[in-house]
Chain A
Amino acid sequence: NAGVMQNPRHLVRRRGQEARLRCSPMKGHSHVYWYRQLPEEGLKFMVYLQKENIIDESGMPKERFSAEFPKEGPSILRIQQVVRGDSAAYFCASSRDTPDSGANVLTFGAGSRLTVL
């Protein structure tokens, strides 16, 4: 049973380009979460999605960032017109149960490391 799969693992973009990060949750998991880890910082929540729905995007920057989790295929975090400050590790997590279930456990992927030149 593969874990949470993220790709690409490393991505280099020049300022102004677009970055697309993909996340396939664990089999049987229908809840996806994106976190960002800036250099020298802890992981910070960005967005929570279920299939075809954004549930909570309170941690997403208001501009240039968007996320989706389509009916088919992986969840995608999209960053338009990247700037150097977007350089970070972006982690995806998934869970089987609803977030407020006592048994809910987030399983993290290995992350996608974005470098903006």
Chain B
Amino acid sequence: QKEVEQNSGPLSVPEGAIASLNCTYSDRGSQSFFWYRQYSGKSPELIMSIYSNGDKEDGRFTAQLNKASQYVSLLIRDSQPSDSATYLCAVINSGGSNYKLTFGKGTLLTVNP
């Protein structure tokens, strides 16, 4: 069973702090990694994708990938209360297609004003 693991949280950080969200995956051959944000009762929204080892930055968000450790993380700088949501890590397993994402259960982030 190819799995994606996330701490369920809740992760609570003060406004302005850095929120660090972590994800590990079991399929060593995975090549594509995604972070989705999901507000309660709303649709998952893609916020970052990463395919190569290292860091990828987009505004206040930085995704980090370490394939040797089978680890992907999302950093949110200058956290805002509007960042409070569940963050879903998703992976395309080796041999899979772009539509067949394997999701973690999500980490609930709360940013306190």
Contact = CB atoms under 8 A, between A and B. Distances in A.
A99 B97 contact: yes
A43 B88 contact: yes
A6 to B, nearest CB: 9
Contact of B103 (A43, A48, A99, A109): A43
Contact of A56 (B36, B41, B100, B105): B100
Interface of B: 4, 36, 41-46, 88, 90, 97-106
Interface stretch (A12-20, A61-69, A70-78, A100-108): A100-108
Contacts of B99: 31, 33, 45, 48, 56, 93, 95, 99, 104, 106
A45 B98 CA distance: 11
A42 B105 contact: yes
A56 B43 contact: no
Most A C-beta atoms less than 10 A away, residue of B90, B97, B99: B99
Contact of A100 (B41, B90, B98, B103): B98
B105 A111 contact: no
B106 A110 contact: no
Contact of B97 (A3, A35, A56, A107): A56
A3 B105 contact: no
A8 to B, nearest CB: 14
A101 B99 CA distance: 10
A109 to B, nearest CB: 5
A95 B98 CA distance: 10
Contact of B88 (A31, A42, A95): A42
A21 interface: no
Interface in A31-54: 31, 33, 35, 40-45, 48
A89 B1 CA distance: 22
A44 B44 CA distance: 13
B5 to A, nearest CB: 10
